[in-house]
Chain A
Amino acid sequence: MNISRSISRRMPKGRHVVIGIPFIWLFLFFLLPFIIVMKISFAEADVAIPPYTEIYTWAEGQLSIILNLGNYIFLTEDELYLAAYLGSLKMAFISTLICLLIGYPMAYAIARANKEMQTVYLLLVMMPTWTAILIRVYAWMGILSNNGILNGFLMSIGVISEPLQILNTNFAVYIGIVYSYLPFMILPLFANLVKHDHSLLEAASDLGSSTFNSFWKITVPLSKNGIIAGCMLVFIPAVGEFVIPELLGGPETLMIGKVLWQEFFNNRDWPVASALAVVMLALLIVPIILFNRNQAKEMEGRA
């Protein structure tokens, strides 16, 4: 009696601390920064430190806020930005599709393997996600370049007589994105597929359904949550990818992450870079919410 009262008296206090600390951290360093990006996207570039103007001024006891839409208008006027957004969405979409086509059978095979092999396979999938993405992309530079290993090999067996230009093309960027993000597609798919009840497939086969038919009508619909999680884990970061188009892509590769980087680091135009980030976030907000909902279900064990 006494004890339970003391628990209930202490509970709320501890609860507030446990909720409060991560909440305050994420609020300060994740949410608040977006509000500042939003603010600066309405400012004007200025030769100063920091290089932008303030959007509000105190004059005669009055606070006046000037929202300068110039940056957004600028984004619509220059075709480069539109092309970069569309290019990123297309790149990310096609790469996600390829990842799904390669990753699904892999996840399926792992889920069907025996327990002992499963842990080995999972390690093999996970290991690359922990090793530097920069280095894995760099490895492809050595393979794809004009005097690289792939061209050398193809020429030595006589398939081609002159080196193929693969590095610094969009094709190389596709390889890079699929290569880097494939594990992020496999892991959620596996987590979903491994939970499936095998007897459903047996029942279908007893009733005369072909293997492919039961796969398509039973396994695929049941793995919907895994497919959503995997696709979002690939698609959303791929849209804003910088390292891969920078190292493997060429002048024809227009991706928004690269453009934002150049605006920020080369042109030092912080307000335009902020406006680019705000528009990118607006494009991605629906997939992000979809992913968060899916993840929340997964985390609470409701899925």
Chain B
Amino acid sequence: MNKRFSFSNIMLWLGFLFIYLPMVILVIYSFNSSRLVTVWGGWSVKWYVGLLDNTQLINAVLRSLEIAFYTAISAVILGTMAAFVLTRVTRFKGRTMFGGLVTAPLVMPEVITGLSLLLLFVAMAQLLGWPSERGIATIWIAHTTFCTAYVAVVVSSRLRELDLSIEEAAMDLGARPLKVFCLITIPMIAPSLAAGAMMSFALSLDDLVLASFVSGPGSTTLPMEVFSAVRLGVKPEINAIASLILLSVSLVTFIAWALTRRAENARKKAIQQAVDEGAKATWQQAPSSAKS
């Protein structure tokens, strides 16, 4: 049996074709000089150049980037805390509820979260007078809430893999929990924190439904801008902006992946080296007991 051409491998490649072909077609057609979508009129970058004159679009891009930046920071802080609680604090009142609150935003339909957050903001504005105007702040709150769940999942899987004995050793030597967390735990989970931040940034940049509900006049984000244009049909200008988004997100994802992978490999190498050296030392000190 040839393992290379097994059913599952064929499915894997067909699946990748299914996932990537539409995106490749989109990028190719963004360079089409013809205004008609199906007619190929030769290569051209005029749709990209045209984007630069669209100040409304550029403002939306800047606004989206700003929100995504704030979201990445806050979601990593909250998500890491949540992950720490879920993996390290085994017993406390309301733990089940805490776990539910952390993971439910992962699957909750966006229209429900969006509607409920908007109603909360309206009620808050009536009672507290804040937020008097919906905009960047309210979108940031909405995005942080659902990104926290993603960060918690990513970070908790890393926290579970960690060797607890290192933290315990530091604790035994008198380091306070906060110090242990900052000096020992954080450096060890840094790749997953970076991954969580990246993910939050991308998710925030991508969100249409939540932003549509909780934004106010004058705070249109990039997806909202694209959506209102897309509703009217396929247009070459949108092909261009869509390709730019696709390429930039793919590039950033790829860089992040490569960096994490390098850090991971370096870590494994260091551990292997330490183990080898340890073994060598033991062997040199007591050759007779090396068999064990």
Contacts and interface: CB of A to CB of B under 8 A. Distances in A.
B102 interface: yes
Contact of B117 (A29, A127, A133, A140): A29
Interface stretch (B5-13, B42-50, B271-279, B283-291): B5-13
A91 interface: no
Question: Interface size bucket, B side?
Answer: 35 or more
Interface string A5-23: 0110011001100110111
Nearest to B199: A130
A22 B29 contact: no
Contacts of B86: 296, 299-300
B37 A300 contact: no
A50 B126 contact: yes
B77 to A, nearest CB: 8
Interface in A19-43: 19, 21-23, 25-27, 29-34, 36-37, 40
A22 B148 contact: yes
A239 B202 contact: no
Contact of B26 (A21, A139, A296): A139
Contact of B174 (A3, A34, A130): A3
A240 B112 contact: yes
Contact of B230 (A123, A138, A300): A138
A201 interface: no
B107 interface: yes
A134 B217 CA distance: 21
A241 B109 contact: yes
B145 A25 contact: yes
Contacts, number: 274
B177 A130 contact: no
Nearest to B116: A33
A112 B108 contact: no
Interface string B98-115: 111111111111111101
Main secondary structure of the interface of A (DSSP, over half): helix
B227 to A, nearest CB: 6
B270 interface: no
A181 B261 CA distance: 25
A132 B249 contact: yes
Given A23-B98, A152-B38, A36 B119 contact: yes
Contacts of B116: 33-34, 36-37, 277
Interface string A253-271: 0000100110011000010
Given A132-B246, A243-B208, A232 B253 contact: no
Contacts of A203: none
Contact of B254 (A36, A123, A141): A123
Given A30-B101, A139-B22, A179-B18, A280 B109 contact: yes
A133 B223 CA distance: 10
A148 B101 contact: no
B168 to A, nearest CB: 12
Contact of B103 (A108, A128, A179, A295): A295
A142 B25 contact: yes
Given A109-B9, A277-B115, A149 B25 contact: yes
19 contacts: A11-B177, A36-B119, A37-B119, A103-B15, A105-B8, A106-B8, A109-B8, A109-B11, A132-B242, A134-B206, A134-B226, A135-B245, A141-B233, A247-B230, A265-B212, A280-B112, A291-B103, A295-B106, A299-B87
Interface of B: 6-9, 11-12, 15-16, 18-20, 22-23, 25-26, 29, 36-38, 78-79, 81-82, 84-87, 89, 92, 94, 96, 98-113, 115-117, 119-120, 122-123, 126, 141-142, 144-145, 148, 153, 156-157, 160, 171, 174, 176-178, 198-199, 202-203, 205-206, 208-209, 212-213, 223, 226-227, 230-231, 233-234, 238-239, 242, 245-246, 249-250, 253-254, 257, 261
